[in-house]
């Protein structure tokens, strides 16, 4: 059970597309970047900030929330939306990537690992991942998958793909939430044949939308992009497509260039907390001494009330003195800047000028030619 999430395509420019995803909660305009609220909050921000940024959809981290405060506590308090006081959309991951990063013992039944909170032994199965996400009450839940560390031998990548497919069947069978959509996840490493096979077989199982996982984990872009293209070629046009864990400007335009509608990443908020802003001229490290007496805003070319109020000199002062307000202001800026980038992509696709925008992003953010 689940709720199909048809996407109405409004404009296309090559494979790039704009659309509207319709859910029981409302509508999501795509392409869309989803900020990550790991433990129930985007670090340094609250939901009023996200509303001011016109955030459409927010990510919750299933692994961390099931550990602290627990899915049962959140369910008792009215579900994740009420817990956060958030009226927008919510997507929860399955915990697969966090479990992967903890080096678990993986069996056919599930993954066993040590809690990062209290060292207790935890066992996560596809069925438990489904149950936890249903207790959280997100609008979109992700299937539990197996993420192979790359690079890896072909047989390791295939084994992970096959187990992901078997777990996908179990995820679907366990899902019973009447208004919660469920997305399947495509694996296959950087092998083009495995990516295409994984995508087509995941579509045969039948989900409400599809995600590309296990990429943007350190591999070069000239390897990542063909693997992405091999996957998206097999995905339905009328259902949402989601690239997991992608947040750099070139990555975003490449994903959209290959028909992706949704993406998320901790990168923009993590950079912000360390003093780095995303700007129209590239990354800007505001800790640098040259900004000590700089009275200009973070990005003079980006006019936004949430990020244009404070000078580079002031932000450098806050950063050098360890004031957390700096991270908050730069986080607001980075999320507003990325939201503006997605708006630019929608406008360019509608106008048939996406190729020019893509080239412009490459000219600022990359030293090499576009893939």
Is residue 295 annotated as a catalytic residue, yes or no? no
Q: Look at residue 292 and tell me if it is in a domain.
A: yes
94 plus 163 within the same structural domain: yes
- pLDDT the model gives residue 3: 73
Average pLDDT, the chain: 95
Binned at pLDDT 50, 70 and 90, residue 2 comes out as low
pLDDT score at 368 = 43
Report, as an integer, the average pLDDT of 82-86: 98
| 197 and 329 inside one domain | no
3-state secondary structure of 317: helix
Q: What is the pLDDT of residue 134?
A: 98
More confident residue, 149 or 275: 275
pLDDT given for residue 1 in this prediction: 56
- Percentage of residues in the chain with pLDDT exceeding 70? 98
Structural domains of the chain, count = 2
Q: 145 is written with which tokens?
A: 């998958």
Split at pLDDT 50, 70, 90, the class of 103 is: confident
Quickly count: other Cβ atoms within 10 Å of residue 58's Cβ: 26
230 and 100 inside one domain: yes
Residue 82's contacts (CB-CB under 8 Å, 6 or more residues apart) are none
Q: What is the pLDDT of residue 305?
A: 87
Q: Identify whether residues 83 and 175 lie together within a single domain.
A: yes
Residue 331 is predicted with a pLDDT of 97
pLDDT for residue 366 = 87
Q: Are residues 166 and 124 in the same domain?
A: yes
Answer yes or no: is pLDDT of 180 > 50: yes
Alpha helices in 44-87 (DSSP H): 47-52, 62-67, 71-76, 80-84
For residue 170, tell me if it sits in a domain: yes
| Each residue's pLDDT tens digit, 110-121 | 999 899 999 999
Within 10 angstroms of residue 226's Cβ, the number of other Cβ atoms is 15
In a domain, 369, yes or no: no
Is 192 or 304 the better-scoring residue by pLDDT?
192
Confidence tier at 367 by pLDDT (50, 70, 90): low
Which of 204, 199, 276, 205 lies closest to 243 in space, CA to CA?
Answer: 199
Q: Which of 264, 294, 310 is the last residue of a domain?
A: 264
SS3 87: coil
- Residue 102 binned pLDDT confidence (cut-offs 50, 70, 90): confident
Mean pLDDT of 200-206: 98
pLDDT digits (tens, 9 = 90+) for 30-69: 999 999 999 999 999 999 999 999 999 999 999 999 999 9
Do 89 and 171 lie in one domain? The reply is: yes
Q: What CATH number corresponds to the domain at position 259?
A: 3.20.20.105
Q: Take residue 110 and report the two structure tokens written for it.
A: 């599930």
| Own/partner long-range contacts of 99-106 (Cβ < 8 Å, ≥24 apart) | 99/63, 99/124, 100/146, 100/147, 100/149, 106/146, 106/163
In a domain, 279, yes or no: yes
pLDDT tens by residue, 328-337? 999 999 999 9
Which of 214, 238, 264 delimits the end of a domain? Answer: 264
Catalytic residue among 139, 208, 248, 264: 264
Is 247's pLDDT higher than 70? yes
Residue 2 inside a domain? The answer is no
Q: End of a domain among 231, 247, 264? A: 264
138 shares a domain with 247 = yes
pLDDT of residue 132: 98
User: Do the domain assignments include residue 1?
Assistant: no
Same domain, 209 and 118: yes
Residue 369 has pLDDT above 70, yes or no: no
pLDDT tens-digit series, residues 311-321: 999 999 999 99
Q: For the residues 167-194, what does the mean pLDDT come to?
A: 97
In DSSP terms, 263 is beta-bridged to 33, 243
Indicate whether 198 and 330 sit together in one domain: no
> Which pLDDT score is estimated for 65?
97
Answer yes or no: do 72 and 175 share one domain. Answer: yes
Active site includes 93? yes
Flag whether 370 is in a domain: no
Q: Is the pLDDT of residue 259 over 60?
A: yes
Considering the domain architecture, whether residues 67 and 117 belong to the same structural domain is answered as yes
Q: Which of 13, 93, 139, 145 is catalytic?
A: 93
**Percent of the chain at pLDDT above 90?**
90
* Domain of residue 121, residue span: 7-264
Measured in whole angstroms, the distance separating CA 85 from the mean position of its chain's CA atoms is 21
Q: Across residues 339-367, what is the average pLDDT?
A: 96
Answer whether residue 211 is part of any domain. yes
| pTM confidence score | 0.96
- Residues 201 and 331 placed together within one structural domain of the fold: no
């Amino acid at each position: 059970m689940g709720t199909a999430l048809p996407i109405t395509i409004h404009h296309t420019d090559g494979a790039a597309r704009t659309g509207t995803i319709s859910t029981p909660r409302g509508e999501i305009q795509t392409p869309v970047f989803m900020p990550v609220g790991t433990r129930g909050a985007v670090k340094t921000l609250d939901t009023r900030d996200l509303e001011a940024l016109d955030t459409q959809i927010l990510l919750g981290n299933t692994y961390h929330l099931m550990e602290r405060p627990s899915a049962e506590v959140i369910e008792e308090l009215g579900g994740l939306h009420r817990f956060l006081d958030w009226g927008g959309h919510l997507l929860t991951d399955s915990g697969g990537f966090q479990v992967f990063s903890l080096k678990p013992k993986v069996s056919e039944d599930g993954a066993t690992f040590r809690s990062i909170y209290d060292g207790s032994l935890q066992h996560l199965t596809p069925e438990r991942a489904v149950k936890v996400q249903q207790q959280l009450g997100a609008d979109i839940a992700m299937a539990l998958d197996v993420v192979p560390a790359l690079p890896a031998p072909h047989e390791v990548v295939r084994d992970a793909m096959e187990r992901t497919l078997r777990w996908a069947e179990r995820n679907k069978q366990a899902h019973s939430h009447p208004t919660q959509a469920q997305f399947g996840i495509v694996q296959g490493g950087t092998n083009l044949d495995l990516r295409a096979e994984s995508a087509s077989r995941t579509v045969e199982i039948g989900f409400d939308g599809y995600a590309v996982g296990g990429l943007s984990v350190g591999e070069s872009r000239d390897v990542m992009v063909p693997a992405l293209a091999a996957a998206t070629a097999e995905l339905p046009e009328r259902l949402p497509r989601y690239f997991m864990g992608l947040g750099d400007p070139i990555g975003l335009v490449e994903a959209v260039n290959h028909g992706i509608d949704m993406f998320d990443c901790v990168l923009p908020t993590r950079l912000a907390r360390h003093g780095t802003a995303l700007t129209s001229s590239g990354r800007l490290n505001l800790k640098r001494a040259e900004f000590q007496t700089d009275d200009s805003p973070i990005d003079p070319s980006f006019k936004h009330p949430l990020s244009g109020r404070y000078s580079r000199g002031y932000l450098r002062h806050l950063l050098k003195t360890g004031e957390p307000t700096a991270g908050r202001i730069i986080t607001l800026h980075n999320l507003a800047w990325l939201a503006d980038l997605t708006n630019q992509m929608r406008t360019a696709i509608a106008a048939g000028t996406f190729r020019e925008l893509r080239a412009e992003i490459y000219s600022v953010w990359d030293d090499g030619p576009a893939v």
